[in-house]
Homo-oligomer: A and B are copies of this chain.
């Protein structure tokens, strides 16, 4: 197979276009305007879609634990991409594998992250595989199960108050490389292959792609991937980005052109734990991508989220509660004739096997 030639030229500010040669800035932000940076890659010779094996050049230290190349299945008359089947049970592995390899290439022996969930486990797992240490700042009320997983992969876990306080503590820690998925450009870079995989698996570009948005790495990575393929004329159209957020945490609601609410969105979500982020430095970038694609935001209430969770589990898709909110959005859009199911791909991001006790409680509820 002929590999495409992809060169990482440097980091670029998507707001003021400031460009920095090379691949590394510890704070991940534009020195001029403060916006979180993106990688700028140059795609050289490409023979065709099938010859593209990866969109990003990987650090020499890159180490695979089997991330990526997840299944796309047809279910409920629509298409579902099973990102929860990644090695640590979430899509974060695509980003963590790149970001931690880069830290290693740069000689760091400690990576720092703030997260209580999927990103923390992913970063800690890759760090361990690389033989370097991981320090993960978590909220003090982290559930025992999540705590146990982080400890089991050898992470140093620091309980640091609220979720926001955990974030603040992590960015102030100068002992190592702050991997920080919320701003790190390589987390986004790592997501790009999902776009490529979906196109190969469907043999076409889907008309709609339904994606959960918290920090925005997944949706921005997809958008970057589709646009780079378009720029090389490997595809002829772009999908509409359907962003999904949970009630009470709809940081996109004032920024995107079209918003749909599903279910009871009057109170703050209790169950979409991976979507409960109020500080998202890239949210402006996300809104621009959604608007440019002609897409929209769907805000989902806990009632519809839990209903969707029951439907997914009873159909054999063992995802975490947060992922059910994404599917709830797809269901609602299909019902409203806003999208055709067979033209739509929904991305399920996290495994429910890590959170069975939580899932079980919700499945039993009358919600």
Q: A residues near B, CB below 8 A?
A: 64-66, 69-71, 73-74, 82, 85-89, 125-126, 128-129, 145, 148-149, 151-154, 313-318, 351-354, 356-357, 359-360, 363
Query: Are B317 and A151 touching (Cβ within 8 A)?
Result: no
Query: When the two chains form the complex, which single residue of B74, B353, B359 contacts A89, counting CB atoms closer than 8 Å?
Result: B353
B357 touches A318 (CB 8 A): no
A80: nearest residue on chain B (CB-CB)?
B66
Contact A315 B87 (CB under 8 A): no
Contact: A318 with B128, CB < 8 Å?
no
Q: Do B73 and A71 have beta carbons less than 8 Å apart?
A: no
Question: Per a CB cutoff under 8 Å, which of B154, B314, B316 touches A65?
Answer: B316
Given A126-B316, A318-B125, A152-B70 contact (CB < 8 Å): no
Chain B: CB-nearest residue to A65: B316
Cβ B66 vs Cβ A129 within 8 A:
no
Contacts of A359 in B (CB 8 A): 152
Residue of B nearest to A352 (CB): B152
The 7 closest A-B pairs by CB, nearest first: A129-B316, A66-B71, A125-B316, A66-B82, A65-B316, A353-B353, A152-B360
Contacts A148-B360, A153-B316 supplied; 8 other A-B pairs, CB < 8 Å: A66-B82, A69-B69, A85-B85, A87-B318, A88-B318, A145-B357, A152-B360, A153-B313
State whether A356 and B82 are in contact (beta carbons under 8 Å apart), knowing that A64-B73, A88-B318 are contacts in the complex: no
By a CB distance below 8 angstroms, the chain B residues around A87 are 82, 85, 316-318
Whether the Cβ atoms of B71 and A128 lie closer than 8 Å is: no
Q: What are 15 A-B interface contacts by the 8 Å CB criterion?
A: A65-B73, A65-B316, A66-B73, A69-B71, A82-B87, A85-B86, A88-B353, A125-B318, A145-B356, A145-B357, A148-B360, A149-B353, A152-B318, A152-B356, A351-B353
> In the complex, A86 Cα to B145 Cα: how many Å?
22
- Output the least CB separation between A71 and chain B (Å): 3
Which residue of B73, B85, B153 is within 8 Å of A318 (Cβ)?
A: B153
Alpha-carbon distance A129/B314, docked complex (angstroms): 6
A351-B353, A353-B351, A354-B356 known; A313+B66 contact, CB < 8 A: no
| Measured CA separation A64–B70 after assembly (Å) | 13
- Tell me whether A152 and B363 are in contact (CB under 8 A): yes
